[in-house]
Amino acid sequence: MSRPPLLDLVNVTVEVDGKTVCREVSLAIGEGETHILLGPNGSGKSSLLNAIMGTGPGAVVDGTVTFDGVDVTDADVTERARLGLGISAQHPPALPGVTVRRLAHAMGADDRLAEATEALELDRMIPRDVNVGFSGGEVKRWEVCKLLLQQPLLSLFDEPESGVDLEHVAVVGRAVGRLLATPTPTGRARSALMITHTGFVLDHVTPTRGHLMVDGRLVADGDAREMFDAIRRDGFAA
Ligand SMILES: Nc1ncnc2c1ncn2[C@@H]1O[C@H](COP(=O)(O)OP(=O)(O)OP(=O)(O)O)[C@@H](O)[C@H]1O
Ligand SMILES: [Mg+2]
């Protein structure tokens, strides 16, 4: 008997501020799989990831989200994180008064802080407040660093390399690749759903499948690298 998917979206519709931004999205991600989400600006990709994580601003208004066998459609973000979902967000909030060190402590990740910050070359940020005054690239690197601290079973990466300089893109790519290649302490393989416009991160992961979102709908799927090359060559309409 085949195993049920780790993340299973069935006919998911997402609204942001009363506007439908994702429509009837069905997507299944198995344990150990990395799926790539492609699509033009404003097509609803981030809204989908934020709705899966439960961070808002959008929310699932129809359909179901099941993660690791639990219906999380209406679960709060803390419950989803405890079950093993994590996100590297496109527009994460700043946390004035909460240092990187303190957040790592609250996550129970004191023993991983040095290694994770070194991996993303962010060691000097440890005493600073999270995302307060971070540069655009530092924000993106911190988001990936945060996932190294959390060690989710399934990571949602929203353009982890966008705005990151060319040298640090490789740093981000290696960190993402290593996280996904390292099984959980109980031996489970990690999974991911990843948005990319640049494709750089595809050099560091083994994509299982690619999906194209246009106007809030998944309109095509296939081999992620072939889809990316086709978009680069012919645009989204091809
Ligand atoms: N808080 C909000 N209020 C109103 N509209 C919103 C809000 N957040 C998102 N939207 C709209 O929802 C649509 C989808 O946005 P989303 O951020 O999901 O796109 P995206 O595919 O991630 O784009 P990009 O590639 O530019 O990051 C857009 O038209 C956007 O303007
Ligand atoms: Mg986005």
Question: Which ligand has the minimum distance to the alpha carbon of residue 39?
Answer: 1
pLDDT at 56 over 90: no
Report how far ligand 1's centroid is from the alpha carbon of 121 (Å).
Answer: 30
Tokens (6 digits) for 99: 């240092």
Report how far ligand 1's centroid is from the alpha carbon of 136 (Å).
Answer: 19
Report how far ligand 2's centroid is from the alpha carbon of 196 (Å).
Answer: 9
CB-based contacts of 102-111 (< 8 A; 24+ apart in sequence): 103/130, 103/146, 103/149, 104/149, 107/149, 107/150, 109/149, 109/150, 109/151
Count of C-beta atoms within a 10 Å radius of residue 101: 16
Nearest to 45 by CA among 216, 219, 227, 235: 216
Confidence of residue 3 (pLDDT cuts 50, 70, 90): confident
Confidence of residue 221 (pLDDT cuts 50, 70, 90): very high
Ligand 1 cavity residues, CB under 6 Å:
16-17, 19, 21, 39, 41-47, 57, 90
Residue 238 has a pLDDT of 61
In whole numbers, what is the pLDDT of the chain averaged over residues? 96
Please state, in angstroms and rounded to a whole number, the distance separating the CA atoms of residues 88 and 52: 12
Confidence of residue 106 (pLDDT cuts 50, 70, 90): very high
* Model confidence pLDDT, tens digit, residues 125-137: 999 999 999 999 9
Residue 125 has a pLDDT of 96
Q: Which ligand 1 atom sits closest to the C-alpha of 159? A: 27
Query: Phi, psi at residue 24, to the nearest 5°?
Result: 45, 50
Mean pLDDT across 55-81 = 96
Nearest CA to ligand 1 atom 16: 44
Mutate to test the pocket of ligand 1, among 13, 15, 19, 91 (most ligand atoms within 8 A of CB): 19
Question: Which residue matches tokens 């390292």?
Answer: 182
Residue 237 has a pLDDT of 79
- The architecture (CATH level 2) of 7-234 comes to 3-Layer(aba) Sandwich (3.40)
Q: Which ligand 1 atom sits closest to the C-alpha of 39? A: 21
Nearest CA to ligand 1 atom 5: 16
Residue 1 has a pLDDT of 53
Domain ranges of the chain: 7-234
* Model confidence pLDDT, tens digit, residues 156-210: 999 999 999 999 999 999 999 999 999 999 999 999 999 999 999 999 999 999 9
Please state, in angstroms and rounded to a whole number, the distance separating the CA atoms of residues 29 and 32: 8
